[in-house]
Amino acid sequence: DIVLTQSPLSLPVSPGEPASISCRSNQNLRHSNAQEYLHWYLQKPGQSPQLLIYLGSHRASGVPDRFSGSGTGTHFTLKINRMEAEDVGVYYCMQSLDSITFGQGTRLDIK
Amino acid sequence: ITLKESGPTLLRPTQTLTLTCTFSGFSLNTTRMGVGWVRQPPGQALEWLALIHWDDSKRFSPSLEKRLTITKDTSKNAVVITMANMDTADTATYYCAHIPLGLFDWFGPWGQGILVTVSS
């Protein structure tokens, strides 16, 4: 089974400051087609999850450009270059290379 | 694209859960489209259950596969998931979500979710 480990589990960030969340996999998520099968979601309080980043680094439609995804193989990072109040919530990484698994989530809130 | 889950909100242990995802804005007759199901126990992380593609191919969570079925009704724009032998540990919010590119299998828009409680 592919296990995704996120860190930190909780992250208070001041408005306007950057934030970074790590997602590590116990297996390589790079497909033979050269795509990284790692995706990021945000679940705002009381809401359903929403897609932020797919295939490692592709921003979903309507996602602000302050969000970016990077990484390859077993280590991936989600970055917010300037934290805003509306970014509060729980962030999940998910892999779809072998079955589908989610990380345990990282709670981001305003400091 | 919108999706909405429907079904019972209270079940007894050992009963079978049947949930329907009704969607609009896409068709499962379209190549590469799919629908997946994910659940979330109260205060816990997301857990994937199953998905179905336009070509009727299916994938299941290995830990739950023996309890799950998933089918599609393209004429009704609906996907139905069943989970047998429900237990109190299956109490969760159940979501369906659109898969815009099957075989990559990330989830696009999600439904609002339905809270299913299993209690005797």
The pLDDT tens digits for B82-93 are 999 999 999 999
Burial class (CB in 10 A: 0-12, 13-18, 19+), B51: buried
Distances (CA, A) of B28 to A6, A65, A77, B39: 33, 31, 33, 22
Report CA-CA distances (Å) from B44 to A103, B39, B89, B107. Answer: 11, 10, 12, 19
- B111–chain A Cβ distance below 8 A for any pair: yes
Average pLDDT, chain A: 97
Residue of chain B whose alpha carbon sits nearest to that of A60: B108
Mean pLDDT of B55-71: 97
Residue B6: pLDDT band with limits 50, 70, 90: very high
Nearest chain A Cα distance for residue B3, angstroms: 11
The residue among A44, A99, A100, A106 with the most chain B CBs within 10 A of its CB, best to mutate, is: A100
Interchain CB distance below 8 Å, B108 and A60: yes
Task: Give the whole-angstrom CA distance, residue A76 versus residue B24.
Answer: 33
- pLDDT of amino acid B83: 98
Mode of pairing for the β-strands spanning A106-110 and A10-13: parallel
Residue A57 is encoded by which pair of tokens? 């680094």
CA distance A105 to chain B (A): 6
Q: What is the dihedral of CA B96, B99, B100, B103, to 10 degrees?
A: 180
Residue B102: the pLDDT is: 86
Whole-number pLDDT of residue B84: 98
| Whether residue A47 has pLDDT greater than 90 | yes
